[in-house]
Amino acid sequence: MADSLDGRVVMITGGSTGIGRAAALCCAREGARLVIADIDEAEAANTLDQVKTAGAEGRFVRCDVSQGDQVRAVVASVAEHEGRLDAAFNNAGIESDWASTTRCTEENFDRTIAINLKGVWLCMRDQIAQMLRQGGGGSIVNTASVAGLVGSRGGCAYVASKHGVVGLTKTAALEFAPKGVRVNAVCPGVIETPMVERMIESTKLEREAFERQEPIGRLGQPREIGEAVTWLLSDASSFVTGVAMPVDGGFVAV
């Protein structure tokens, strides 16, 4: 990539597995210094081993993104240890219990919103404040979903959370464009990660049913999202802000 992330400090939430891990590896290849914020320390160690093999540096900070004090502590720790925060990928999320509008429980709704939506806002709040304090702008990418762009039967809480992420992204993009902080969202289609493996298991649907949702005829690979995220985080996308970019094998083109 022409405008690499060489030496840039990048914070990734949900970087222990799946899309977050793949994005960490793509950023590592571009020379980024990584901070993985997640609740799963064991899997984070695997991510960091692979980051090291790719020739980059990284460290883990335990953080539940739904807890404001924990998010604040991670960003403060980045400011103290790495000295600055250049970019962030707010990606931590849960699939939630798949349930329709009439069957979704209040507990499921609250938990999904707390992690998938409030977690993104909490992260952006402290990350943008840090970027403004240090000067020089920054780039943030939030993980929404194709479920942030279109409805999905039975996905009440998840779809609401991901549409919310798109709204937060556009709003922060407008607010901080004049200050040089760009904010975008990536909207993955169905990607082969532990999350989707769990969904295949819990819905008892055949894997082919998930593949058929993708016009391209297969599930996406985490690396295919990681590449798009790396581009959005880097200066190669310097005129792009406020977009919710589908990376979805044609899912929302139907």
* Residues 52-91 close enough to bind ligand NAD by CB under 6 A: 63-66, 91
The residue from 29, 32, 33, 38 that contacts ligand NAD (CB under 6 A) is 38
Q: Which of 60, 89, 121, 158 is catalytic?
A: 158
Question: Given the complex with ligand NAD, which of 39 and 99 has the nearer CB atom?
Answer: 39
**Pairing of the two strands 57-62 and 33-38:** parallel
**Pairing of the two strands 9-13 and 33-38:** parallel
Using CB under 6 A as the binding rule, whether residue 249 contacts ligand NAD is answered as: no
DSSP 20-43: HHHHHHHHHHTT-EEEEEES-HHH
CA distances to 24, 58, 125, 203, 226 from 72, in Å: 21, 19, 9, 36, 25
Using CB under 6 A as the binding rule, whether residue 127 contacts ligand NAD is answered as: no
Using CB under 6 A as the binding rule, whether residue 228 contacts ligand NAD is answered as: no
Site string for ligand NAD, 168-207 (x = CB under 6 A): --------------------x-xx-xxxx-----------
In angstroms, give the least distance from the CB of 116 to ligand NAD: 6
| Residue type at 85 in one-letter notation | L
The yes-or-no answer on residue 28 being catalytic is no
Other Cβ atoms closer than 10 A to 223: 15
CA distances to 124, 132, 241 from 178, in Å: 16, 11, 11
Using CB under 6 A as the binding rule, whether residue 236 contacts ligand NAD is answered as: no
Phi, psi at 63, each rounded to 5°: -160, 125
In angstroms, give the least distance from the CB of 38 to ligand NAD: 4
Query: Residue numbers of the site for ligand NAD (CB under 6 A)?
Result: 13-14, 16-20, 38-40, 63-66, 91-94, 115, 143, 145, 188, 190-191, 193-196
